[in-house]
Structure 1
Amino acid sequence: MYARILGTLTLTDGLRTVTPRAPKQRQLLSLLLLHAGQVVTVDECVDELWADSPPLSAHSTLQTYVMQIRKTLRSAAADTGAPAEMYLETRDRGYLLAVGPGQLDLHQFEKLVEQASLARIVGDHTRESELLHRALGLWSGRALADVTCGPLLRTRLSGLRETWLGALEQRIDADLRIGRHHRLIGELRVLTRQYPTYENLHAQLMIALSRSGRTADALEVFARLRRTFSTELGLEPSARMRDLHADLLNSVPVTESVYLPGPDSTPVPLRPAG
C-alpha cells in the first residue's frame, strides 16, 4: 500500500488505485495520513469534518467513515496477498493510522530533507543538492489539492507549505555552492515575484546574477526589494541585504556563507504575493 498527499490524494495497492471517492472520507483519510502514527481524537475528526456545525449524528457518521476506510485498507491488502502494513486502529478517544516504512510520500520527503541537512552540516553540498532534488521531486503540486479541507487540515497544510519552501530555499543554496548559478536565475526570478518580501530568495538571485557577470541586474533586484519593503511594510531591507548591495556596488566578491543563513538558521516566515 502506498499513499500520496504531496499533490492529489492517492491511495494505491500497487495494482490499482483505491482512493475513496466520497468527499468526507477523503477528508478524514487525509487528516489521518497527515498525522500518521499519531492518535487523532474523535473531537479533532469532528472539528475537521464539520467545523462549528456538527450534526447530531456526527459521532456515528464518523464511525461509519472509519469503518469504510478500514475496509478499503483491508481489502487492498487481501487483494495483494501482502501483510497489511497500513491499517487503522481505534485508540482511546481517537484513531491512529499505522503506516509502514516507505508507504507515505510525506515521510519519504521528510527523511530526504533530514539527510540533506546532515550533508549540509558536513559540507557535502553536492549530496545535499541531490537529496533535496529527490525530496522536492515527490511533490506534484499543492498538497491535497483535490481534497476539501477543514480547519485542522488548513493549519497543517500551511505548515507543510512552509516546509516545502524551506527545502526549496536550501536546495537553491546548495546549487549555488556547487556553481549552478546560471541555471538558477530563471527559477529565482519567478520565486522572487511570488514572494516579493522574502529576503533570502532575493539574496540568492542577487548572488546568482553577480556570479553570472550581471551585477547591474543584481542591483536592480535589490532596488525592487527596497521599493516593495517601503510600499508594503514601511521598512528598509535588513542590514544583511544592505551589506550585500554595498558589496556589489563596490565590486566585492560575494559568497553564500556571508549573506545566506547557515545550516542551523531558523527559516524566515514567507508571505506570498497577494
Structure 2
Amino acid sequence: MMEDTAGQSVDIGNGKLRHLLALFLLNANTCTPKHWLVEHLWHSHAPRSASSNLKTYITRLRRFGVPIATQTDGYVITVAPSQLDADLFENYAIDGRKALNRGDLYEAATALDAATRLWRGDPLHGINLDKELSLWAERLRESFRLVTEDLFEARLSLGRHREIIGPLKTWVAKNPLRERPHAQLMTALYRDGRRADALEVYRDLRNSLVMQVGLEPTSALRELQQQILLEDSRINAESTVHMMMERARTVIYGANSSVPHESKNWNPLRRRLDTG
C-alpha cells in the first residue's frame, strides 16, 4: 500500500510490482543497477524477457506516481525524509529516546507514541523477501519492539501504570522471552497493589526461560523480584513525583499528555510497505 500525491491510498497489488517498489525504497535516493534489480526480482532465475519486464514494471509504477528516474546504469527513486514511513518512524524513535535519556518524559511519550502510530502491520507483507529485504524487515520489527518498550517505560515513569497493564499483558504474550516488558509489567502490577500478580509474572517468565532456552532470568530481574517480595519502597519512588506532575498538568491544561496523530503538515506522499 502507498499513498499518491493527494494523500489517497493506492493499492499496487502483490507480486513483482510490490517487490520492485520495496527494492527501490531499500535503496532510496541512490542509483539501483538494472542487473541488481533483475537478480533480486527473479532470485537468480531471470527469464530472457527479464529486462523488458523490468521496464514494464517501472512504467506501471510511474503511472502510480512513483518518482523513478532513469540513469545510465540503472534507476533511482527520489524520496524525501518525510515521504517514507520507515524514516519517519526512525526519526520519532530517535527523538523519543533522546527525550527519555534526558528525563523529559512527556516529550518522550509524545515522540514514541507518534512512532508506534505509524506502524501498519508486518513490514513488507506479501513480498517474497530476499536476503536484503528480510534484513530490512527484521530491523524494522526489532526497532518497533524497542520503541514500544521505550513507550511503556515513559508511561510507567509518568505514573500511568494502571493504564498500561492491559497492553503490557498482550505484549508479553507476544514476546514471552523478552525480559524488559516482563519487568515493566511486574512493576506496573506492584504499583497497582497487585503484588501476587507481579510475582506470578516473574514465575511464568522464569519457567519459560528455563524450559525453552535453559537460562535463568538476569540479575536485574531477580533483583526486582526480591524488591517486590520485600515491598521495597524504591519501586514506587521513581514514579511518585512524575505522577503528581501528570495530575497537575491534566488539571491545568484540561487534557492528558497522550500523543496526537501525525501532524497535518507532513507530506502526504508515503511509500507504505505493509498490510495497509
User: TM-score normalized by structure 1?
Assistant: 0.78
- Name which of structure 1's ranges 37-46 and 192-201 shifts more when overlaid on structure 2: 37-46
Which of 137, 150, 168 aligns to 1:157? It is 137
Aligned to 1:32: 24
- Name which of structure 1's ranges 45-54 and 249-258 shifts more when overlaid on structure 2: 249-258
Distance (Å, rounded) in 2 between the aligned partners of 1:15 and 1:238 = 47
Which of 176, 189, 196 aligns to 2:169? It is 189
1:46 aligns with 2:38: yes
Q: 1:232 to 1:17 in 2, by over 3 A?
A: closer
Which of 14, 19, 38 aligns to 2:6? It is 14
Q: Deviations over 1:57-114 (max 9, x none)?
A: 22332232223323432xxxxxxxxxxxx62133454432111342222222222112
Distance (Å, rounded) in 1 between the aligned partners of 2:46 and 2:62 = 23
Distance (Å, rounded) in 1 between the aligned partners of 2:103 and 2:21 = 39
Paired residues for 1:77-156 under 5 Å: 87-91=67-71, 93-145=73-125, 147-151=126-130, 152-156=132-136
Contact 1:12 1:19 (C-alpha < 8 Å) held by counterparts? no
Distance (Å, rounded) in 2 between the aligned partners of 1:138 and 1:177 = 23
Distance (Å, rounded) in 2 between the aligned partners of 1:172 and 1:232 = 26
Give the aligned residue type for 1:150.
Answer: L
Q: CA RMSD in A?
A: 2.3
1:63 aligns with 2:45: no
Distance (Å, rounded) in 2 between the aligned partners of 1:224 and 1:190 = 14
Distance (Å, rounded) in 1 between the aligned partners of 2:122 and 2:236 = 29
Contact 2:162 2:188 (C-alpha < 8 Å) held by counterparts? yes
Distance (Å, rounded) in 2 between the aligned partners of 1:34 and 1:257 = 45
Q: How many pairs were matched up?
A: 237
Aligned to 1:225: 205
Aligned to 1:23: 15
Q: 1:137 to 1:256 in 2, by over 3 A?
A: farther
Distance (Å, rounded) in 2 between the aligned partners of 1:150 and 1:59 = 20
Contact 2:34 2:74 (C-alpha < 8 Å) held by counterparts? yes
Which of 212, 223, 227 aligns to 1:247? It is 227
- Name which of structure 1's ranges 94-103 and 171-180 shifts more when overlaid on structure 2: 94-103
Give the aligned residue type for 2:136.
Answer: R
Which of 122, 128, 152 aligns to 1:172? It is 152
Greater RCO between the two (CA within 8 Å, min separation 6)? 2
Secondary structure, in 3 states, of the residue corresponding to 1:89? strand
Contact 1:177 1:256 (C-alpha < 8 Å) held by counterparts? no
1:203 aligns with 2:187: no
Any unmatched runs of 5+ in structure 1?
A: 1-8, 74-85, 259-274
Distance (Å, rounded) in 1 between the aligned partners of 2:95 and 2:236 = 21
Once the two structures are TM-superposed, the CA of residue 171 in structure 1 deviates from its matched residue by 0.6
User: TM-score normalized by structure 2?
Assistant: 0.78
Q: Deviations over 1:132-181 (max 9, x none)?
A: 11111112222233x32321322211111111111101111111111110
Secondary structure, in 3 states, of the residue corresponding to 1:96? strand
